Structure 1
Amino acid sequence: MSWDYELTLIRPGEITQDDIGNQIPGDPVETVVLCKLQSVGRTEFYNAAVAGLRPEMVFVIHGYEYNYEQSVRFDGVLYRVIRTYATGFEELELTCERVAADG
């Protein structure tokens, strides 16, 4: 497998306050990294379905590039990270499910 794909890691922006104390979320911080793709295993898929999750993609990235982001974008589609798994010293698997579009 080679690192042929781009994955955008999305982290929420910092929260600031206005003059009267209302919290204002900042713009999300996006970081583009290279990744490999893997299939979701059959057992993992069905076990997750029991818990109400729908794993769809597994992205393999370098662990040092991951900063606990909970959202990623791949090929224009937004995904939520439902599980991380370190497969070795440098590689980290992100198991993700597609985020449903609003209305």
Structure 2
Amino acid sequence: MMWRDVVGLIKVTKQKNELGERVPVDGVPREAFANVKSVGSREFYQAFVAGVKPEIIVELIKAEYDGEEKVKLEGTTYHVIRAYSKGGDKIELTCSRYPMEV
């Protein structure tokens, strides 16, 4: 399979700020080859009803993904809202510019 895109995978860690509070801090993006796809209409509307707005799907090799919480593509940072193993050696990350409310 040919990979058409390059994305930055971003690991988020917790660090103490000047007040001693633990706050999330983005790590340095790690580049990975991927295919970026549109979200299908059925998946989009099902997620929308649940209060989530998926915008892109990033397909990449499972070995490249290490649980990163964010993906950077063409200057835009997306939050990973779902990681789905497609079987074999691929994984799909459903991403949104807006974080999920937990």
Per the TM superposition, whether the score is higher than 0.5 is yes
Instruction: Indicate the residue corresponding to 1:22 in structure 2.
Output: 20
Structure of greater Rg: 1
Letter in 2 for 1:87: K
Cα distance in 2 between the residues matched to 1:14 and 1:50: 31
For residues 62-88 of structure 1, the C-alpha deviation after alignment (integer angstroms, 9 at most, x for no partner) is: 111111111111011110111111112
Secondary structure at 1:29 match in 2: coil
**TM-score under structure 1 normalisation?**
0.80
Give RMSD over aligned pairs. 2.4
Percent of residue pairs bearing the same amino acid type: 35
Gapped regions of structure 2 (runs ≥ 5): none
Letter in 2 for 1:5: D
Letter in 1 for 2:47: A
Mapped contact 1:78–1:99 kept (Cα < 8 A):
no
Gapped regions of structure 1 (runs ≥ 5): none
Instruction: Indicate the residue corresponding to 1:7 in structure 2.
Output: 7
Cα distance in 2 between the residues matched to 1:28 and 1:69: 10
Instruction: Indicate the residue corresponding to 1:39 in structure 2.
Output: 38
Instruction: Indicate the residue corresponding to 1:98 in structure 2.
Output: 97
